[in-house]
A and B are shown apart, each in its own frame.
Chain A
Amino acid sequence: MRNFVSERAQSIPPSGIRKFFDLALTMENVISLGVGEPDFRTPWNICESGIYSIEQGVTSYTSNKGLPVLRETLSDYLNQHYNLHYNSDDEIIITSGVSEALDIAIRAIVDPGDEVLIAQPSYVSYAPCVTLAGGIPVPVECTETDRFKLNPDTLQDKITRKTKALMINFPNNPTGAVMNLKDLEAIADIIIDKDLLLISDEVYAELTYEGNHVAAGTVSDLWQRTITLNGFSKAYAMTGWRVGYLCAPKEICEAVLKIHQYVMLCAPVMGQVGALEAIRSAEEDKNNMVQEYRLRRNMFVAGLNRIGLSTHVPEGAFYAFPSVKDTGLSDTEFAERLLKEHQVAVVPGSVFGDGGKNNLRCAYAVSRKHLTEALGRIESFLTTL
């Protein structure tokens, strides 16, 4: 029989931590810092609105772009919070999480052979999505020296005649790095000069701890060549609801919408109803969660540095990215032994690209009690090395 699996599917690497995952499931008493989602429950007013809408029989397809009232409310929100101007009629599409938004954005702009630059370390799906679209993912490394911000010179070096787009994610998963206005201006000149498109995944925008988030689309003249991605999962603890959104100038949005309507049709309606409630009434819940993350970050990062794992202060998201370089272990060895010997689950940095190979991603979206316990266990582990 032929091998029916396509070359493209074969070319995608399997998940780097499958074995960790299976191992952790068989173990007792594991403290997991390996989870990229909030430990809070979805604020109850959001849940209630979802439940009520189901009771009212709101269970049908919505417009492909998403509920008009949600797009209008979102348009106002983006304007007020980030000074981002997107028309609710033809510049916003509600998607099934940012994951879908990312996929259809790439498919709408990539032709076979196009190179797409990816600021790494990066979320795990970026490169595979580019490959699946027939493009060539090209990593641009962000280093610890630059506090994991995207360095304009490194960016410049990676651009070829085939480069079509750049993908960035700040606040960053897994490093927690943030690009402020000045940082973004430095790369904006290059993007404009080289006539590239920018895909900016800003799903952690609300989790910014020093100053306000700067949306890439508001910098210089980037708006007309930027696709902004965002969603409700991280800020409102709504990961399982699967609601994200994509904003782009009309012409790009039209192309993306064609793909969205064929592959997804629309985002789940109850998720959209919940998202609407989130914007309307969960501002305080969100702020309380952000404040709690800030406290945990300060405590956890200070703790990591104290026990001897050098860690830069992440300015956003909910990840600390300590370096294990001085321990003599690779990130994978460290993570594997830490799990087996001390029951703490962390993700090896190399999963997010070569640039992360000396680091671990530790999500501090767990209770302070567990963070303290995890720090104690990591410290005990370090003394055995």
Chain B
Amino acid sequence: MQDKDLELLRILEDNSRLSAKEIATMINLNPDDVKARIHALEAEGIICKYSTVINWEKAGNGEVSSIIELKVSPERDYGYDRIAERLSRFRQVKTLRLMTGTYDLQLLVTGKNMQEVSRFVSEHVAPMDRIRETATHIIMKSYKENGNVLFEQKEAERLPYSF
């Protein structure tokens, strides 16, 4: 991948709302070139989606998130892929990863409240074939998401002038 594409991706990852024109001045390209590169990166599936980091706790809708660890018996020929793909179809599963260590699959599951999350786990996840064990951890508070600090930080005081 070209350096310019990497620069472009880093800029978009930080703020996907910048216009092609704004990005163009920042990385010394013309706006059409920026648009073309973005289209290409979208077409290749490198740019998956433009979304927003939201502090839901502050938004106060009471949503509950939990990390669920699953121990899974892998399938001959497929390993973990088929079960992981199946779990991915649930809207409630926001993130799904295969891990090294004491368990296999890690799920980030969100729901309106604790009951919804626990019903989802007990009715849909735990009973699935090949799932041997589940452990559900409710997220109490999020301090940092995707590189963004969610708590208030005092701005460092700087002098108005210095040399």
Residues of A within 8 A of B (CB): 17, 20-21, 24-25, 30, 32, 34-37, 39, 41, 123-125, 173, 291, 295-296, 298-299, 302-303, 345, 347, 351
A24 to B, closest residue via Cβ: B160
Task: Judge whether B26 and A123 touch: CB under 8 Å.
Answer: no
B163 touches A295 (CB 8 A): no
Q: Which residue of A lies closest to B159 (CB)?
A: A35
Can you list 23 pairs linking A and B with CB atoms under 8 Å apart? A20-B160, A20-B161, A21-B159, A21-B160, A24-B161, A25-B160, A32-B158, A32-B160, A35-B159, A35-B160, A36-B162, A36-B163, A37-B162, A125-B163, A291-B7, A291-B10, A295-B26, A295-B27, A298-B25, A298-B27, A299-B25, A299-B26, A302-B25
Instruction: Check B162 against A35 for contact (C-beta < 8 Å).
Output: yes
CA distance A25 to B161 in the complex (A): 10
A298 touches B28 (CB 8 A): yes
> Which of chain B's residues have a CB closer than 8 A to the CB of A125?
163
Which B residues are CB-close (under 8 A) to A41?
156
- Residues of B in contact with A (beta carbons under 8 Å apart): 7, 10-11, 22, 25-28, 156, 158-163
| Residues in A neighbouring B11, C-beta threshold 8 A | 295
Q: Which residues of B contact A123 (CB under 8 A)?
A: 163
Q: Which residues of A contact B159 (CB under 8 A)?
A: 21, 35
| Contact A17 B10, beta carbon cutoff 8 Å | no
The answer for the CA separation of A21 and B22 in the assembled complex, in Å, is 33
Q: Is the CB of B163 within 8 A of A32?
A: no
* Bound-state Cα–Cα, A298 to B27, Å: 7
Q: Which residues of B contact A173 (CB under 8 A)?
A: 163
A39 touching B158 in the complex, CB below 8 Å, given contacts A295-B11, A298-B25? yes
**B27 contacts which chain A residues (CB < 8 A)?**
295, 298
Q: How near does chain A come to B42, taking the closest CB pair, in angstroms?
A: 22
Q: Determine if A21 and B25 form an interchain contact, defined as CB atoms under 8 angstroms apart.
A: no
A residues in contact with B7, CB < 8 Å: 291
Q: Which chain B residues border A34 with CB–CB below 8 Å?
A: 160-162
Distance between Cα atoms of A39 and B11 in the complex (Å): 18
Bound-state Cα–Cα, A154 to B138, Å: 71
Docked CA distance A21–B160 (Å): 7
Chain B hits for A302, CB < 8 A: 25
**Bound-complex Cα distance A300 to B13 (A):** 21
A283–chain B nearest beta-carbon distance, Å: 17
Within the complex, what minimum Cβ distance (angstroms) separates B33 from chain A? 14
Complex Cα–Cα for A227 and B44 (A): 52
Cross-chain contact A37 with B160 (CB below 8 angstroms): no
Contact partners of A24 in chain B: CB under 8 A: 160-161
Residues of B within 8 A of A351 (CB): 163
Residue among B11, B28, B156, B162 with max Cβ neighbours from chain A (10 Å): B162
Chain B residue contacts of A20, Cβ below 8 A: 160-161
In whole angstroms, how far apart are the Cα atoms of A20 and B163 in the complex?
13
Q: What are the residues of chain A within 8 A of B26 when measuring CB–CB?
A: 295-296, 298-299
Contact B161 A35 (CB under 8 A): yes
Contact for A345 among B28, B156, B161, B163, CB less than 8 A: B161
Contact present for B161 and A32 (CB under 8 Å): yes
Which of the listed residues B11, B26, B27 has the most CB atoms from chain A within 10 Å of its own CB?
B26
> What is the CB-to-nearest-CB distance from A227 to chain B, in angstroms, rounded to a whole number?
21
Question: CB-nearest residue of chain B relative to A366?
Answer: B158
Chain A residues, Cβ within 8 Å of B163? 36, 123-125, 173, 347, 351
Q: How many Å from the CB of A300 to the closest CB on chain B?
A: 9
Chain A: minimal CB distance from B91 (Å): 35
* A173 to B7 CA separation, bound complex (whole angstroms): 27
Instruction: Decide: A30 and B160 in contact? CB cutoff 8 A.
Output: yes
B22 touching A299, Cβ below 8 Å: yes
A347 contacts B158, C-beta separation under 8 Å: no
Question: Chain B residues with Cβ under 8 A from A295's Cβ?
Answer: 11, 26-27
Within 8 Å by CB of A17, from B28, B158, B161, lies B161
